[in-house]
Amino acid sequence: MSAFIRVILNMALYALVMHALAATSYAGYMRINSPNPADPMNVHIYKLDNGLTVYLTENHETPRFYAEIVVRAGSKHDPAEATGLAHYLEHMLFKGNRNIGTLDYEKERVHIDRIIELDEQHYQETDPEKRAEIYEAINAESQLAGQYDIPNELDKIYSGMGGTAVNAHTWHEETVYKVNLPSNRLEQWALIDLL
């Protein structure tokens, strides 16, 4: 599900940026701010039909672009019994998808599915001893799934494209993924999840 959301966000942002740069009209968005001569960055704010808000400004100093994907999910959305969940999600999304960050997704998926089952059991279980046993089983499955990890593959992909400042953060109401890339890599950035 998270990879799907990332693909949709990337595609929506790519479509908006390409159309804005080409000065063409696109019925899928609406500009929500007026030009402001006092704004030295000349920020254009757009609202996509799907609710995503895009802030767009040009930087003529270097032929690069800085991109952020901002998701409205932060620490304030964490369940009371699972604080840190949004931050955990940030790290999990950085790990990749079916094609990025794994040696063999189908083999890894067996362990991921088992972890999900065990996590649900852990959530439902009230006996402390049984919860501890389930937690140990989750850790064991995590170790098995980890055999298929390719550490930092997304960072390596971005670095190979000339990217810098690959990072993410989680705040109260948002989780943000960011990168600075050469301007001729816009299309590759927008399509990265399709690799």
Name which of 111, 118, 175 is nearest 149 in CA terms: 111
Q: Give me the residue spans of the domains in the chain.
A: 2-101+150-194, 102-149
- pLDDT higher than threshold 70 for residue 65: yes
Share of the chain above pLDDT 90, in %: 50
- Residue 181 confidence (pLDDT): 95
- Residue 21 confidence (pLDDT): 42
Average pLDDT score, the chain: 84
The whole model's pTM is what? 0.62
- Residue 147 confidence (pLDDT): 97
Interval 114-166: pLDDT, tens: 999 999 999 999 999 999 999 999 999 999 999 999 999 999 999 999 999 99
- Residue 24 confidence (pLDDT): 37
Q: Kindly give, in sequence order, each residue whose CB lies less than 8 Å from that of residue 80, ignoring residues fewer than 6 positions away.
A: none
Superfamily of domain 2-101+150-194 in the CATH hierarchy: Metalloenzyme, LuxS/M16 peptidase-like (3.30.830.10)
Distance CA 91, CA 82 (A): 15
- Residue 158 confidence (pLDDT): 94
Instruction: Give the best-scoring range by mean pLDDT among 12-21, 72-81, 105-114.
Output: 105-114
Distance CA 192, CA 9 (A): 11
Strand segments (E) across 78-188: 164-170, 175-182
- Residue 17 confidence (pLDDT): 52
- Residue 54 confidence (pLDDT): 85
- Alpha carbon distances (Å) from 51 to 66, 95, 147: 21, 26, 38
Distance CA 154, CA 90 (A): 13
